[in-house]
Structure 1
């Protein structure tokens, strides 16, 4: 009887363990696809809304992109402070000691964060400039060159090894972006000013890609050589970015701010842009945690397609050409190839 009871108890424990693992798998799948949908929505919305705000006609002064970047970093800073305070179980002493330990105990280590922080500020200002000059579809496809720059800096700074498939993907990516830049059939109707605006936009995207690649790899290197939490690193990034952002405000828009104020031209849509800009990095962190590279490739691909369609159908500033369609397809394909990780063969265990 005791053996039968023991077997029943074992079977019951096994059943509960299987049910628990199934529930965990379902929860992870739910979080995976939810984070995917959020990423697609955020990536598409930030591009289209930002493009709309940079091209819409306004009676008063237009909002300043430099102030929008600073506002986004301030929102991010207070969000990180709130999360860290919650993680400290609302205890001020625990929160303060964590801040001191991770930010002030080793000030040289903390100051390293200023490098990617300033680069991210420059990058965000360049993206505002690019979306003032380029349609959303061309911008989004071209911005995928950050994969190429990130790979370059990963190889040179982190000594990463890329397999042949990734090198093929990078070559395809470069060719696809080049195809997208080919003039369409109605290029002759463009004015000389429009052509120069497009060139400025493309140069801004390229500079942002290099800034993104270097800053991302530098930040990854810092994360791998320290035990500081990601939320604390994001707080440090936001802190230094605010100073870099205010410097950009003073450098480029000091007269306009003195005349019409820091928040000139702001409305509800501009605040949506600020929030999307602030929480974009946190959303990407969520996707990295719960989604794999293939799903991220799907997110990028769907975002490009949706942005292109809306830009063509509703915004009237984009006319797709055969070269653009082919280039976008090649870029999407290269994104999947670069993110693909072949499964390692299972090791055979011999008795």
Structure 2
């Protein structure tokens, strides 16, 4: 059952896509910080995808955990984490933190309400990701979800007036070709009924990913626009985003899973894997913020590509839910090449790139 309630992800929730809001790294930052952020991004992205996939396909005796409940729990953790960062920025002064939050959130209702739009979209997006991972293997999902680069580019051009160079548009063509190959049908064994059911499940998963890509691109660019127009702290903005996401998620949970919540409770079906998914999802926004602060476009491109490879290898060797073909590997290589080419910084003034050079923090 589809529940209208989820982050990245997305992851998101309180996170915003690195493709649509990257910050140029200053030369003063060390290579160590760059590679640490690279490793953290690869680890977080791969872990979230595979753990979420495993949690949605694990056979259990009792009821399966509610995706809507996991979304609400993740939003609460995100708000708490961002509040701790604001507390740190306030020199661990509770009174100063309360004053800051009151001034930026309560006393500026119009600024706060701007976050309702991306919060609602992120909530929808994260539910779509749960549906996608319930119907697709982790590697196929990971590669197909890279279409968010295309949607981010199109929304950036239309909403922010960004200009893309020939390399960026060429990379988008590579991306489309790669995703097409990844989704190319293969001959499978089994009865005709099994084939129909498998095809139907893959179609649902594919449509969910495509809808998540569109919502991810729009919400990311919209959030970028908000960040560029104000000087509020990123953590304050994430608190505003998380509060709206929590409200939307909670309402959605009551609307679509209210009866099950009343019967077995909000945390039915929770186990160690479920809690891990919630924590990884909640930390997603914080990881993205660290990457934006310390990493550059090239490293983000490699991180995305590496996460695809790692997801495919783990899906094949450990989860045993993915049988790669030569066509899949060719499509994956095209997607990785497109990701790197799209993120490659070009010095020519005639070539535009999608990034924020003076994003307020």
Give the TM-score normalised by structure 2.
0.86
SS of structure 1 residue aligned to 2:292: helix
Counting only pairs closer than 5 Å after superposition, residues 50-89 of structure 1 correspond to structure 2 as 50-89=52-91
Ranked by relative contact order (alpha carbons within 8 Å, sequence separation 6 or more), the top structure is 2
Counterpart of 1:50 in 2: which secondary structure? helix
**1:277 paired residue among 275, 281, 294:** 281
Equivalent residue, structure 1, for 2:251: 247
2:228 corresponds to 1:215 = no
Gaps of 5+ in 2: 1-25, 350-361
Secondary structure of 2:91's aligned partner = coil
CA contact (8 A) 1:180 1:328 kept: yes
Deviates more, 1:215-224 or 1:305-314: 305-314
1:97 Cα offset (Å): 1.8
Shift in Å at residue 88 of structure 1? Answer: 1.0
Structure 2 Cα separation of the partners of residues 251 and 132 of structure 1: 21
Which of 1 and 2 has greater Rg? Answer: 1
Instruction: Say yes or no: does 1:262 pair with 2:278.
Output: no
How far, CA to CA, are the matches of 1:338 and 1:163 in structure 2?
9
Shift of 1:312: 1.1
Partner of 2:172: 170
| Structure 1 residues without counterparts, runs of 5 or longer | 1-23, 346-351
CA deviation after TM superposition for structure 1 residue 343, in Å = 2.9
Distance (whole Å) between structure 1 residues aligned to residue 189 and residue 44 of structure 2: 31
Q: Is the 8 A contact 1:113 1:240 kept in 2?
A: yes
Runs of 4+ in structure 1 over 4 Å off: 24-27, 187-190
Aligned counterpart, 2:94: 92
Q: Secondary structure at the match of 1:57?
A: coil
Work out whether 1:337 is the aligned partner of 2:341: yes
Partner Cα separation in structure 1 for residue 74 and residue 287 of structure 2: 14
Q: Could you tell me which residue of structure 2 aligns to residue 305 of structure 1?
A: 309
Structure 2 partner of 1:46: 48
- What CA distance in whole angstroms lies between the structure 1 residues aligned with 2:107 and 2:260? 40
Give the secondary-structure state (helix, strand or coil) at the position aligned to 2:30.
helix
- Aligned partners of 1:187 and 1:174: how far apart in 2? 28
Q: Is the 8 A contact 1:170 1:338 kept in 2?
A: yes
Deviates more, 1:217-226 or 1:178-187: 178-187
Once residues 26 and 115 of structure 1 are traced to their aligned partners in structure 2, the CA distance between those partners, rounded to angstroms, is 36
Q: Distance in 2 between matches of 1:48 and 1:30?
A: 27
User: Which residue matches 1:110?
Assistant: 112
1:93 Cα deviation (Å)?
Answer: 2.5
Q: Which moved more, 1:83-92 or 1:200-209?
A: 83-92
> How many angstroms apart in 1 are the aligned matches of 2:137 and 2:179?
14
Q: Encode CA deviations 1:102-134: one digit per residue, 9 max, x unaligned.
A: 112221111000100111111111101100000
- Note the C-alpha offset of 1:86: 2.0
Normalised to the residue count of structure 1, the TM-score between the two structures is: 0.89
**What RMSD over aligned residues (CA atoms) do the two structures have, in Å?**
1.6
| 2:207 paired with 1:199 | no
Quote the residue 2:149 is aligned against.
147
2:29·2:294 contact (CA, 8 Å) conserved in 1? Answer: no
User: Matched residues in 2 for 1:267 and 1:28: separation?
Assistant: 40
Deviation per residue, 1:4-28 (Å, 9 max, x gap): xxxxxxxxxxxxxxxxxxxx97962
Residue 161 of structure 2 corresponds to which residue in structure 1?
Answer: 159
Aligned equivalent of 1:233? 237
- SS of 1:191's partner is helix
How far apart in 2 are the matches of 1:198 and 1:210?
Answer: 19
More helix by share: 1
For residues 172-205 of structure 1, give each alpha carbon's deviation from its aligned partner in whole angstroms, at most 9, with x where no partner exists. 1111101111012327765211211110000000
CA distance in 2, matches of 1:37, 1:78: 25
Give the 3 Å change call, closer, same or farther, for CA 221–268 of structure 1 in structure 2: same
